[in-house]
């Protein structure tokens, strides 16, 4: 039964996601190759022995293979799945050269190679646009609802009601964007511009490093903004066995007063609850248009703060309502998707740059097992999370494939750029050495991410 659970909850969502994204990527290569008159011999999803396939009327073999961790398009004149030129290309007849990839102009070859990553990028935009048209986009105004006492925002001088205008050089339209930037910069001083009393103020904020552990006990460090969004005091969920459940609070209840004091934000409720562990308090709530009152006794909860000191606070076991969703029309959804994709591009590029700069550890890189785990987690959260994750992975495939490493699309584009400048391609030996180096780098990366996955799976990534 455990195997069936893993198969259904993790392997199946991963295969659906990865197969679709590989198909999209390779379809980009295939479509542009066909438009440029190149004969495509093989369109493969996966590597290794063929499981099943068929030949179309243009002579392309469409097939699924046993190892579903990628795919390739083999064009006429390729020696292998890495699109290296075959030795017999110089001996082709004039008719064969017309359909050979390596006898097309350097611009045509570059377009064919670039099409794969480009279609992955466009796919991410279109998926997000469709999501924003149907389900909507999470859109919380960039207004500080409260600052965490002693947190990064308070130390920087932020106040409740401040509107974040720019952060780390980027314009901020949603509170989620500010949180995303902070996550990637633990301990880095960042310039933040806020609007307060109709005037802009520039402050210096250093996201507080926070180490969290996943289900396997692996530690990861993120930056915490130290501020929370402006959230209405509406109960989003009630934990089983909590003080809230015992008192009769329900999802959807709006808390309007605590011990006679009116409240307008969730943080005000949280502050009052934390200050009174095991002290009865009176809540006035609005439920189905009617006002009623409840008495609740916050449970005692102890935790270690950022300094290592133990703090004891009260908690009642409720969560905030989900962020507001803004549904867009077609044009607005497409524009919002372009902005979101660009934001993800900058975030991903920043993370990659931090790894090479030594600010982020290579153990943070995940491989197929990590993607499978996250695919399952997102599928269980719901369709919105899974589709958003699909767009993010599609974007990652685009960026990774554009790295200037031979064996990857970016490596081929590097060769074509050199060819365009020199007026002739690199020599066969130079290309062969480049492909060998690229193969070594790709294999090394595969070993690293697989090792990271195994360490993460067995809980060996401690702090």
For residue 133, give every residue at least 6 positions away whose Cβ sits within 8 Å of its Cβ, in sequence order, or none: 327, 328, 329, 330, 333
Could you give the C-alpha distances from 39 to 62, 392, 412, in angstroms and in order? 13, 32, 19
User: Quick one: tokens of 203?
Assistant: 């402050």
Distance of CA 20 to the CA centre of its chain: 17
Tell me which H or E stretch contains 48: strand 40-55
- Angle, CA of 185, 190 and 196, to the nearest 5°: 125
Burial label, 143 (beta-carbon count in 10 A; 0-12, 13-18, 19+) = middle
- C-alpha closest to that of 211 among 187, 192, 227: 187
Residues whose CB is less than 8 angstroms from the CB of residue 56 and which lie 6 or more positions away in sequence, other chains included: 62
β-strands 235-238, 318-320 pairing: antiparallel
Of residues 26, 179, 208, 268, which has the active-site annotation? Answer: 26
Q: What's the Cα-to-Cα distance from 257 to each of 145, 203, 234, 261, 279, rounded to whole Å?
A: 17, 34, 12, 5, 16
The DSSP code sequence of 138-166 is E--BSBEEEE-TTSHHHHHT--TT-EEEE
Whole-angstrom Cα distance, residue 331 to residue 277? 50
Active site residue 179: no
Angle 258-263-268 from CA coordinates, rounded to 5°: 85
Rounded to the nearest 10 degrees, how much is the dihedral formed by the CA atoms of 385, 389, 390, 394? 160
Token code pair at residue 200 = 């802009």
The catalytic site residues sit at: 26
């Amino acid at each position: 039964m455990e195997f069936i659970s893993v198969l259904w909850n993790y392997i199946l969502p991963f295969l659906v996601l990865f197969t679709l994204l590989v198909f999209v990527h390779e379809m980009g290569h295939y479509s542009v190759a066909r438009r440029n008159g190149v004969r495509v011999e093989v369109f493969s999803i996966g590597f290794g022995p063929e499981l099943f396939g068929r030949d179309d009327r243009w002579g392309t073999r469409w097939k699924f293979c046993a190892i579903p961790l990628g795919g390739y398009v083999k064009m006429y004149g390729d020696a292998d799945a890495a699109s290296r030129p075959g030795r017999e290309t110089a001996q082709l007849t004039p008719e064969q050269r017309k359909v050979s990839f390596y006898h097309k102009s350097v611009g045509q070859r570059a377009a064919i190679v670039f099409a794969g990553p480009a279609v992955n990028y466009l796919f991410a935009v279109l998926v997000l646009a469709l999501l924003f048209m149907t389900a909507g986009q999470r859109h919380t105004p960039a207004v500080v609802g409260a600052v965490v006492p002693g947190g990064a925002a308070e130390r920087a001088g932020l106040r409740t009601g401040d509107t974040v205008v720019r952060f780390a050089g980027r314009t901020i339209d949603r509170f989620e964007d500010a949180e995303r930037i902070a996550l990637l910069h633990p301990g880095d001083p960042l310039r933040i511009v806020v609007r307060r009393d109709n005037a802009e103020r520039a402050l210096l904020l250093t996201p507080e490093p926070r180490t969290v552990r996943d289900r396997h006990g692996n530690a990861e460090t993120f930056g915490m903004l130290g501020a929370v969004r402006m959230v209405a005091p509406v109960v989003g969920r009630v934990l089983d066995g909590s003080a809230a459940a015992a008192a009769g609070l329900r999802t959807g209840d709006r808390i309007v007063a605590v011990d006679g004091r009116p409240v307008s934000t969730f943080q005000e409720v949280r502050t009052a609850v934390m200050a009174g562990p095991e002290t009865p308090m009176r809540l006035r709530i609005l439920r189905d248009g009617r006002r009623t009152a409840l008495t609740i006794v916050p449970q005692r909860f102890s935790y270690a703060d950022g300094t290592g000191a133990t703090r004891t606070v009260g908690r009642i076991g409720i969560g905030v309502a989900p962020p507001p969703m803004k549904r867009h029309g077609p044009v607005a959804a497409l524009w919002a998707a372009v902005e979101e994709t660009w934001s993800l591009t900058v975030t991903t590029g920043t993370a990659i740059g931090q790894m090479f700069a030594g600010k982020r550890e290579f153990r943070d890189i995940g491989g197929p097992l990590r993607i499978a785990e996250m695919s399952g987690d997102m599928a269980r959260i719901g369709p919105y999370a899974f589709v958003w994750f699909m767009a993010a992975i599609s974007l990652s495939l685009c960026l990774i494939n554009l790295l200037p490493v031979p064996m990857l699309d970016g490596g081929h584009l590097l060769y074509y750029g050199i060819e365009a400048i020199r007026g002739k391609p690199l020599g066969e030996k130079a290309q062969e050495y480049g492909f060998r180096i690229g193969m070594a780098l790709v294999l090394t990366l595969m070993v690293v991410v697989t090792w990271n996955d195994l360490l993460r799976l067995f809980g060996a990534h401690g702090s």
